[in-house]
Amino acid sequence: MSQNMQGKICLITGASLGIGKETALGLARRGAQVVIAGRDADRTRAAADWIGREAGAKQVAFLLADLSSQADVRRLAREFKDKYSRLDVLVNNAGAIFTRRETTADGFERTWALNHLSYFLLTQELLGLLKASAPARIVNVASTMHTGGVIDFDNLQGEKSYGGIRAYSQSKLANVLFTYALARRLEATQITANCLHPGGVATGLGQKTPGALKLLLRLARPFLATAEQGATTSIYLASSADVEGASGMYFAKCKPAHSSAASHDGALQERLWELSLRQIGQGKAADPV
């Protein structure tokens, strides 16, 4: 059961298209004030206008950031805190598959930087505001592909060998590990942290990638769910009274689901947490890339 979101402020990343855009629409329709974050100015502005029209909202705000850049993530958090005095729901949704290995300005492999480190860093940057706004919720969009993921600490950045699906699965496992470790740290607060599998969804994910992956996604598209259907669980976790107080869980189709055995490895969760702190410059030293 979705509750009325009137008076709630929600930030959704990667919301210029696909699941993020539909998540923002669903929350706006429930009365929330939504702020969407995207990389492309024209597309993000157009998405904000569309959401406003479809939801009958007065205004849907947007902020611009390339979330694979740590400087941009920090700027996004700073701009949000400058404009808003509260944050009730953070939906970490931005993500992509890259068939070719690329590195960011920070020196990290782009899949890892965008799909994992942006979740970790943005949440850290906004945690104070979430605590001040409690009860609040953090929703991390993962994927069932995490079940095939391995956190390969000896090849974390794909520097020895690289595969787009392998890098994506690793990053999605990181999303689940991060969620569980975060929920444990938030037990004494009124902030919940959950993650989800949106389903096999026809979105823009991977559409700009060349080669066999793009062809595979194109062939699979008629059999995939729509972005609107894929956003259902994100909207549910962000707004439903049914999950009020529920934390540290993995959901699919708006129901608790089993994540991989690796995702429940407490030592792995803590190792990833400490590594991530170092990679965002908050640990003892940055790890070499």
> How many Cα neighbours within 13 Å face the side chain of 61?
13
d(CA 220, CA 64): 31
Which tokens belong to 237?
A: 């976790």
* CB burial string 188-201: b at 16+ within 10 A, e below: eeebbbbbbbbbeb
Task: Return all residues near 216 (Cβ < 8 A) that are at least 6 apart.
Answer: none
How many other C-beta atoms are found inside a 10 Å radius of the C-beta of residue 61?
16
d(CA 283, CA 122): 16
Catalytic status, residue 168: yes
d(CA 192, CA 198): 19
User: To which H or E segment does residue 76 belong?
Assistant: helix 70-83
Options 119, 168, 236, 250, the catalytic residue = 168
d(CA 87, CA 18): 23
Nearest to 150 by CA among 170, 120, 124, 174: 170
Task: Say if CB 130 and CB 225 are below 8 A apart.
Answer: no
How many other C-beta atoms are found inside a 10 Å radius of the C-beta of residue 184?
15
Tokens 């030592």 belong to residue: 267
Which tokens belong to 18?
A: 């696909």
Q: Would you call 103 helix, strand, or coil by DSSP?
A: strand
**Catalytic residue ranges:** 168
